[in-house]
Amino acid sequence: MKTFEKNIRKVEPYVPGEQPQRKVIKLNTNENPYPPAPGVERALKSMDTDRMRLYPDPTAGELVKALADYYHVGENQVFVGVGSDDVLSMCFLTFFNSEKPVLFPDVTYSFYKIWAELYRIPYELCPLDEDFRIVKEDYFRDNGGIIFPNPNAPTGLYMELGDVEDIISHNQDVIVIVDEAYIDFAGKSALELIEKYENVIVVQTFSKARAMAGMRIGYAVGNPLLIKYLNDAKYSFNSYTMNQTALVCGAEAVKDKEYFEEGIRKIIKTREWAKEELLKLGFSFLDSKANFIFATHPDYDAKELFEALKDNGIYVRYWGGGRISQYLRITVGTKEEMDALFGFLRSYMMQ
Ligand SMILES: *Cc1c(COP(=O)(O)O)cnc(C)c1O
């Protein structure tokens, strides 16, 4: 090791799901199989490229206002960032400054551990129970902050809002972040708790239900004090995080509630049908309320299955290791994409 390396911040980076550049059936990173709202294409076509000379609005006002209107909150209650990864990373930096450990589940979004290590935040993992459920009582103890996704990833399991509230109400001296990347496919959002509890931040994204992963838009909603602290941190990092195109397209997407809800209905319908098909093939899986299914098969090794699928142009997500070593996470695509998946699995299993 070179001497200068001693003072270099070393991190083990997050490994994102593969983004193959050839045409494949892509069920590996929980993208939406349908296009964004039609208004987004129109907005994009009428964009003035001369506007690109100028810096974008650092307050991201247009997008913040669209989101505030949509969720019936104040504009000072919304923070936007470059995907919810950016928002969550800012939240770690801003809210998790205790010497006490931040708590999150052992099986969850793997980025949490990476941000904790990057920012040198102490953390402790709270193991899911044998059914892969979050045990809320594990969070009823002294800590430096809490974060968990609801539904959890990659399990897809949704925690009832009453249980989420229990975690928040037992932890009013720290910040509780609820990562709702998949909430639109699931059930009640913790957004309705932000007036009741000052210590909760709800983070959502345009990447899943809003079909705009490529635009990189995420947001946090909470009380104005927390949003102010987040903005202070953001302005100390990079004032112009949101590009002009993302601001315009994001605001446009939010306006089309009907299209958004219709897309969610289609995905939920395909998800429930896909569960039946998986069952017929002998898979067992968790009762996901997200746009993916976390499945295992008693007779087929997950890694071999993952590789066989990939060789045939069907990408799903596989991590390996620990309790999830025999699980695959399969994004819910279109009915046609899922038919191709099941067609392959049926022939693979008949060999
Ligand atoms: C997809 C995902 C995110 C981040 O998505 P962005 O594309 O950065 O908005 C955050 N949390 C969880 C649990 C996710 O699955």
Atom 5 in ligand 1: residue holding the nearest Cα: 84
pLDDT digits (tens, 9 = 90+) for 52-81: 999 999 999 999 999 999 999 999 999 999
- CB neighbourhood size of 245 (10 A): 15
What's the Rg (C-alpha) of the chain? 21
In this prediction, residue 153 carries a pLDDT of 96
User: Ligand 1: residues whose CB is within 6 Å?
Assistant: 30, 83-85, 109, 149, 153, 179, 181, 205, 207, 213, 218
Q: What is the tens place of the pLDDT at every residue in 265-304?
A: 999 999 999 999 999 999 999 999 999 999 999 999 999 9
Distance CA 337, CA 26 (A): 8
Q: What is the pLDDT of residue 84?
A: 98
Q: Could you count the other beta carbons within 10 Å of the beta carbon of residue 119?
A: 15
Cα 3 to ligand 1 centre (Å): 37
| 203-225 mean pLDDT | 98
Q: Tens digits of per-residue pLDDT, 101-123?
A: 999 999 999 999 999 999 999 99
Tens of pLDDT, residues 167-210 = 999 999 999 999 999 999 999 999 999 999 999 999 999 999 99
- pLDDT at 350 (0 to 100): 85
Burial (CB < 10 A; 0-12, 13-18, 19+), residue 344, is: middle
Which residue in 224, 203, 211, 220 sits closest to 250, CA to CA? 211
Query: How would residue 321 be classed by pLDDT, with cut points 50, 70 and 90?
Result: confident
Confidence of residue 351 (pLDDT cuts 50, 70, 90): confident
How many angstroms does the Cα of residue 163 sit away from the middle of ligand 1?
22
The Cα 272–Cα 294 span in angstroms is 13
Q: Which of 67, 79, 85, 202 to mutate to test the pocket of ligand 1 (most atoms within 8 A of CB)?
A: 85
Condensed to tens digits (0 to 9), the pLDDT of residues 139-175 reads 999 999 999 999 999 999 999 999 999 999 999 999 9
For the CA of 86, the closest atom of ligand 1 is: 8
113 alpha carbon to ligand 1 midpoint, in Å?
Answer: 14
Query: Pairing relation of β-strands 123-126 and 176-179?
Result: unpaired
Ligand 1 centroid to residue 287 C-alpha, Å: 20
Atom 14 in ligand 1: which residue has the minimum CA distance? Answer: 181
pLDDT tens sequence across 224-249: 999 999 999 999 999 999 999 999 99
Give the nearest ligand 1 atom to 149 CA.
13
Instruction: Note the pLDDT of residue 26.
Output: 97
Name residue, tokens 């897809």.
156
The pLDDT of residue 22:
85
Distance CA 217, CA 88 (A): 12
**E strands along the chain, which residues?**
25-26, 78-81, 102-105, 123-126, 145-149, 176-179, 200-205, 218-221, 284-285, 292-296, 314-315, 328-331
pLDDT at position 253, please? 97
3-state secondary structure of 117: helix
Ligand 1 center from residue 50 Cα (angstroms): 32
309 vs 291: CA distance, rounded Å: 19
What number does the ligand 1 atom closest to the CA of 153 have? 13
Ligand 1 binding pocket mutation candidate from 185, 208, 293 (most atoms within 8 A of CB): 208
pLDDT of residue 225: 98
